[in-house]
């Protein structure tokens, strides 16, 4: 008799779990998809006005070289300064010059004028004398 009670209890648990899974599945399918209609607006700060490169239009682009350092930790200090101002800079290794082995660069611009505008902002805010480097694809 005790076995029957345990079977009923186990059987009841299976029923409740099954019922729970069915309800959870139905509820999940009826969720509201209004979050898909949200549009994020991109900030219009000069750092975010970076032009996208379209290889069909041109085979060159411009990047800003903020500076060059002989060691990676020195280059990372400059990167951290730029990141604090929302400039997503990067390091490019240059093995041909040990004094300037790590180039600190920012951006991929389709025009030299756009790169010059942003380099002036970097100079104004951080004091770095930047120059524009033309890259051929």
Give the tens place of pLDDT for each residue, 74-86. 999 999 999 999 9
User: What is the dihedral angle through the alpha carbons of 8, 13, 15, 19, rounded to the nearest 10 degrees?
Assistant: 160
Q: How far is 40 from 135, CA to CA, in rounded Å?
A: 32
Which of helix, strand or coil describes residue 130? coil
| Number of residues written out for the chain | 137
pLDDT in tens, 106-128: 999 999 999 999 999 999 999 99
pLDDT tens profile 27-76:
555 555 555 566 656 555 555 555 544 444 568 999 999 999 999 999 99
Architecture of the domain made up of 46-136: 2-Layer Sandwich (3.30)
């Amino acid at each position: 008799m005790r076995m029957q009670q345990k079977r009923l209890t186990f059987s009841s648990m299976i029923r409740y779990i099954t019922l729970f899974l069915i309800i959870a599945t139905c509820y999940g399918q009826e969720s509201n998809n209004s979050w898909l209609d949200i549009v994020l607006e991109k900030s219009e700060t000069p750092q975010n006005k970076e032009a996208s490169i379209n290889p069909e239009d041109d085979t060159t682009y411009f990047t800003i070289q903020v500076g060059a350092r002989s060691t990676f930790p020195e280059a990372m200090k400059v990167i951290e300064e730029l990141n604090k101002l929302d400039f997503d800079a990067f390091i490019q290794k240059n093995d041909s010059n040990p004094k300037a082995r790590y180039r600190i660069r920012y951006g991929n611009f389709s025009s030299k004028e756009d790169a010059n505008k942003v380099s002036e902002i970097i100079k104004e805010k951080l004091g770095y004398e930047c120059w524009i480097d033309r890259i051929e694809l």
